[in-house]
Structure formats: structure tokens, C-alpha cells
Structure 1
């Protein structure tokens, strides 16, 4: 998938537009509007920094999206070439998705899970 397609999906589904916290538009951050926590970030990263097995990639770049996920799910995802340990994030709770390989269906599911993991928790009222 292309970065622009992902941004459009997030805008249409969650009414969230990207923030560009650093120079340029190579890193697009997506925050939950209530919790203000990140649920995703799209980054243009040098392939050599992603430590892709068998890659002889010098200065080539690739778009990846980091999302928060359940650690058990992350363990399963990392067996596929589409997924890498979360780039520059806590690798237990974040996974990097190689956008050129992911299907729209899988991407939407992972973004939705990330959204739900960062939304505010509903506190139970104590019985009086």
C-alpha cells in the first residue's frame, strides 16, 4: 500500500489527520483524539536500518508503519516478511508493517487494534 492510501483510510475511519513533528513529511504521526496517545506512525526508513534479512540495500528507503499490538500477536506476525520489530519503539508492544507488502484488510485490522489499545479505558464505578 502507498502512504497516501493509509493516510486516507485513517482519515475516513477515525477522522484523524497526520501530524508532522519533524522536518519534512517523512514521518507522519497519528494520535487518538481523546487519549492523545500515538496509535500509528508512518516513516520513510533506510532499508539497511530495518535489518531486513538478506537485504543488500545500501541507501534505499522503504515506508513502514508502526502500530501498537498485543505481544502474542506480534510474535506471530514476525514470522512473515511483511512485519518487523517496531522500529525505534518498544519491540514488545509495537510492530513495523512494511507497507509495500501488507494487504488493506490486514492493515485495517492492525490499525483498529492499535486504536483500541490507546483509547481511554472506561473506569468501573465502585459499588457503594
Structure 2
């Protein structure tokens, strides 16, 4: 019984820490977004507007930070706070971000209208429309 309680407690602590880390992660990152291109794409027959950024992502803390699709995603947003979904992200922008190192790569964002062209900023967010579940 003690083993089961310890396992349940450890799982709860791990889930709580992961949730806390995902929520607090935006305060630990510096993301420089340099506009690269604007265009359009048709996805499953649906036209979308697309904007691509070159990103440089660095950490403000000493501890390693996990940037994975299981805990969050990159989101573009404009000066009014309207957010846009990530369409593609270069794998170099994901994984473990270590203190003193930077991740560099491209990410593109889409919208049903051309409002995505007004996006100027990129952040890491836990509010992702298609966040996958981590395999068990």
C-alpha cells in the first residue's frame, strides 16, 4: 500500500511540476522573431495565410528547459494580442535548451485571413490547438 501511495504521490508531483513548468516557461525565455516571408498555403483544400519567422530562442535561467510539443508550442501574435497557430517548426527549435546556448530556426504560422501578416512577436505557449499526449 505504501508503494502505491508513493507512486500516486510521485505521479501527482511530476504532473503538477510539468504543468507549472509549462505555465511559467514564457517567463524564462527570450525569443527574437525576425520576419522572413508571407504567403499562402492550401491545407486539405482550405486556403490559409502564412507568415514565417526566423527565431532565436535563448534562456534567462540556469536550468535546462524542455521545449517539446508535449508541453507547449510556438505562437505568433500581433500588437493587439491576437494569436496565430503554428503550422511548421524547424526541429532545431525543439528539445532541451541549455543555459548559455541558443536555438535557431524557422517557424511558420497560419490564419484563415490575412491578419497573420500583422504578427510581429512569437512566444512559447501551453495553449496549443493540437498538443499531443506524451507516450506512456
State TM-score, norm by structure 2. 0.24
More strand by share: 2
Q: Indicate the structure (1 or 2) with the bigger Cα radius of gyration.
A: 2
- Which structure is higher in RCO with an 8 Å CA cutoff and minimum separation 6? 2
State TM-score, norm by structure 1. 0.25
